[in-house]
Amino acid sequence: MNLPLTPIRFKRHAARMFGRKEGVVCDQLRLTYQEFGERCDRLSDALRKLGLQKGDRVAYLSFNCHRLLEGYFGVPQIGAILLPLNIRLAPEELAYILNDATPRLLFFDPEFIPLVEALRSGLHSVEYLIALRGTRPTWAYSKLYDEMLAEAEPREIDYRGIDENSIAELFYTSGTTAYPKGVMLTHRNLYLHAFHRAQSENGSDHDVGLYTVPLFHVNSWGSPHVLTLRGGRHVILKKFDPLEALKLIQTERVSVLQMVPTMVRALINHPDFAKYDLSSVKTMLVGGAPGSIALIREVEEKMPQCEAIGGYGLTETSPVVSHAHIKDHLAGSPKEEQLWRKATAGFALGGTEIRVVDVYGRDVKPNAEEIGEVIIRSDVVMAGYWKQPEATAEAIRDDWFHTGDLATIDEEGYILIVDRAKDMILSGGENIASAEIERVLYAHDAVFECAVIAVPDDKWGEVPKALITLRTGHKITKEEILEHCRKHLAGYKVPKSVEFVESLPKGGTGKILKKVLRGKYWAGRPRRVQ
Alpha carbon distances (Å) from 209 to 120, 205, 224, 280, 349? 36, 11, 9, 11, 20
pLDDT of residue 289: 60
Report the CATH architecture of 30-164: 3-Layer(aba) Sandwich (3.40)
Torsion of CA 334, 335, 341, 342, to 10 degrees: 160
Query: What pLDDT, on the 0 to 100 scale, is given for residue 422?
Result: 65
Q: Are 152 and 43 in contact (CB under 8 A)?
A: yes
Helix and strand numbers (H, E) in the chain are: 16, 26
**333: enclosing H helix or E strand:** none
Spell out a b/e string for 66-76, using b for 16 or more CB atoms within 10 Å of the CB, else e.
bbbbbbbbbbb
Domain segments of the chain as ranges: 30-164, 429-522
Can you tell me the distance from the alpha carbon of 244 to that of 450, in angstroms, rounded to the nearest whole number? 41
DSSP string, 73-114: HHTGGGT-EEEE--TTS-HHHHHHHHHHH--SEEEE-GGGHH
Q: What was the pLDDT predicted at 424? A: 75
**Max Cα-Cα span within the chain:** 74
Q: Where are the alpha helices (DSSP H) in 130-278?
A: 145-151, 187-201, 223-230, 242-252, 261-268
Q: Which residues contact 454 (CB under 8 A, 6 or more apart)?
A: 423, 425, 426, 427, 434, 462, 463, 464, 465, 518, 527
Q: Do domains 30-164 and 429-522 have the same CATH topology?
A: no
Which residues are paired to 234 by β-bridges?
24, 209
Contact of 236 with 25, CB cutoff 8 Å: yes
Closest CA to 495 of 475, 468, 515: 468
Beta carbons within 8 Å of 253's beta carbon, 6+ residues apart: 208, 280
DSSP run (H or E) holding 71: helix 66-74
Beta bridge partners of 188: none
Supply the Cα-derived Rg of the chain in whole angstroms: 23
Q: Cis omega before residue 319 (within 30°)?
A: yes
Q: Which residues of 322-346 are buried (b: 16+ CB within 10 A; e: fewer)?
A: bbbbbeeeeeeeeeeebbbbbbbbb
Q: 189-210 in b/e burial notation, b at 16+ Cβ within 10 A?
A: bbbbbbbbbbebbebeeebbbb
Check residue 292 and give its pLDDT.
78
Contact by Cβ (8 Å): 76, 84: no
Q: What is the second-level CATH architecture of the domain 429-522?
A: 2-Layer Sandwich (3.30)
Angle between the N-to-C axes of helices 8-17 and 223-230, in degrees from 0 to 180, rounded to the nearest 10? 30
Per-residue pLDDT of the chain (530 residues; tens, 9 = 90+): 999 999 999 999 999 999 999 999 999 999 999 999 999 999 999 999 999 999 999 999 999 999 999 999 999 999 999 999 999 888 999 999 999 999 999 999 999 999 999 999 999 999 999 999 998 999 999 999 999 999 999 999 999 999 999 999 999 987 556 688 999 999 999 999 999 999 999 899 999 999 999 999 877 878 999 999 999 999 999 999 999 999 999 999 999 999 988 789 889 989 999 999 999 999 999 987 656 788 899 999 999 999 999 999 999 999 999 999 999 999 999 999 999 999 999 999 999 999 999 999 999 999 998 989 999 999 999 999 999 999 999 999 999 999 998 889 999 999 988 766 666 788 888 878 787 898 899 889 999 889 999 999 988 989 999 999 998 899 999 999 999 999 999 999 999 999 999 999 976 445 678 888 988 898 877 654 43
CA distances from 65 to 21, 71, 134 (A): 19, 10, 13
User: Rounded to an integer, what distance in angstroms lies between the CA atom of residue 43 and that of residue 67?
Assistant: 9
